[in-house]
Amino acid sequence: MKPLLLVSEIEDYTISFANGLARHVPVILGVPARRYASFASCFHPGVDLRLLDWPRHSSPKNPAFLMSLTRLVRREQPSIVHLLSNNTIWLNFAAPLWRPIPLLTTVHDVRVHPGDHETKVLPNWATTMIARQSDGIVVHGEGLRTLAVDRFRKPAERVHVLAHPSIQRYTELAANEGLRPALNRPFTLLLFGRIMAYKGLTTLLRAEKALGDRVPDLRVVIAGRGDDPMMFRDEMGDPARYEVHHGYVEDRKTAQLFLDCDAVVLPYSEASQSGVLNLAAAFGKPVIVTDVGELRATVEPNGLGLVVPPDDPAALADAIASLANGPERLAALGTQARAWADGPNAPETVGAHAVDLYRRIIREHGR
């Protein structure tokens, strides 16, 4: 078996998924050179990395790129083509040229999140069309599977669940560079990632305010691009508790932020799943998540942390206090999170499930 993976973004997910898959079968991975050249050393030797001159969505070079990509598919004759995201426009026009090779597409977000300005620029027909053209769709949970069947009008047996693998390249970076957690630090809560409306920033700020002096040494670290948290300074209880890294966070700093935190908070108002959760687990950090999307279904059965209602600052404050004032519980949840990231949700485990899925789709397609 020789799968061909294609994707134009989501580097962390792609690295974890491709590396896990390459533990079982040889993998060809086609990606934009402009985004992936600096990550070449992150890939498993079993990944045949093709750094392509992949144009941006608005570039007039896209038709020529599609022809070169089609020549690549015909030359390599992969067993299956797997698009690791449906956030594409131009691949809709190339996919019919790749027949009879079966096509699989992963849909990370069946619905666009409120306030997600980056994904919203893509027309709805483009993300829908590629999913409908595919022989199968992959989502990251049973709830998303139900939504995908409805949105993409696919038979239920053509929509498959594969877990989002744990993201381990930052723990590997920390180990390789000898990074260590800061000593004598206060209880530190980390909100990491794209800071947009649906990420629940104001819910976290109001929760910190509601805490009062229940966690007197609390530090809240907010890191990522998007909305500037200091725009909402008036919502904070004590601005001195906050440490803000607004904008792109480079890899080494990302690893240090996760090493230096005690728990990771995902106070989302709406979500599908979360790569940040999979990054936190790799570091053995408990999470506090809201009951949206697949978060409860991931966190509770695996003992990764606490679940609270969305948009409920009081409940979030109680959860923060319970972890801050319960070191034994905090440690136990962290141990369980790390075991999950290294076992049931390790990239090689998810890769084995993907190989099984590929074989099933190839067999059905042959019939």
pLDDT of res. 113: 57
Q: What is the pLDDT of residue 167?
A: 98
Return the C-alpha torsion angle 279, 277, 28, 343, nearest 10. Answer: 80
Q: What are phi and psi of 116, to 5 degrees?
A: -85, 85
Predicted confidence at residue 115, as pLDDT, reads 54
Q: Which of 292, 253, 351 is nearest to 23 (CA)?
A: 351
Q: Which CATH architecture has domain 3-165+346-366?
A: 3-Layer(aba) Sandwich (3.40)
- The DSSP letter of residue 167 is -
Q: Which of 267, 265, 221, 268 is nearest to 246 (CA)?
A: 221
Distances (CA, A) of 73 to 78, 102, 103, 366: 7, 12, 12, 18
User: Are 295 and 306 a contacting pair, CB within 8 Å?
Assistant: no
Please, which contacts does 23-26 make with residues 24 or more away whose CB atoms are closer than 8 Å?
23/347, 23/348, 23/351, 23/352, 24/348, 24/351, 24/352, 24/355, 25/1, 25/355, 26/2
Q: What is the DSSP letter of 226?
A: B
pLDDT for the residue 121: 62
367 residues of the chain, pLDDT tens digit each: 999 999 999 999 999 999 999 999 999 999 999 999 999 999 999 999 999 999 998 899 999 999 999 999 999 999 999 999 988 889 999 999 999 999 999 999 887 655 555 555 678 888 899 999 999 999 999 999 999 999 999 999 999 999 999 999 999 999 999 999 999 999 999 999 988 767 899 999 999 999 999 999 999 999 999 888 888 888 899 999 999 999 999 999 999 999 999 999 999 998 888 999 999 999 999 999 999 999 999 999 999 999 999 999 999 999 999 999 999 999 999 999 999 999 999 999 999 999 999 999 999 887 5
In this prediction, residue 122 carries a pLDDT of 73
Same fold, 3-165+346-366 and 169-342: yes
DSSP states along 272-292: S--HHHHHHHHTT--EEEES-
The token duo for 261 is 């935190």
Sign of CA dihedral 107, 108, 109, 113: negative
**Residue 308: in which H helix or E strand, if any?**
strand 305-308
Inter-CA distances, 124 with 38, 55, 148, 367, Å = 31, 20, 14, 32
Task: Please state at what angle helix 275-282 crosses helix 327-342, rounded to 10 degrees.
Answer: 100
Alpha helix (H) residue ranges in 39-94: 62-76, 91-94
Task: Quote the DSSP letter at residue 195.
Answer: B
What does the domain layout of the chain look like in residue ranges?
Answer: 3-165+346-366, 169-342
Residue 322 contacts residue 315 (beta carbons within 8 Å) = no
Please give the pLDDT value at position 150: 92
Contact 238, 258 (CB under 8 A): no
pLDDT of residue 123: 80
* Architecture in CATH for domain 169-342: 3-Layer(aba) Sandwich (3.40)
For position 195, what pLDDT does the model report?
Answer: 85
Residue 265 forms beta bridges with which residues? Answer: 288
Amino acid at 126: A
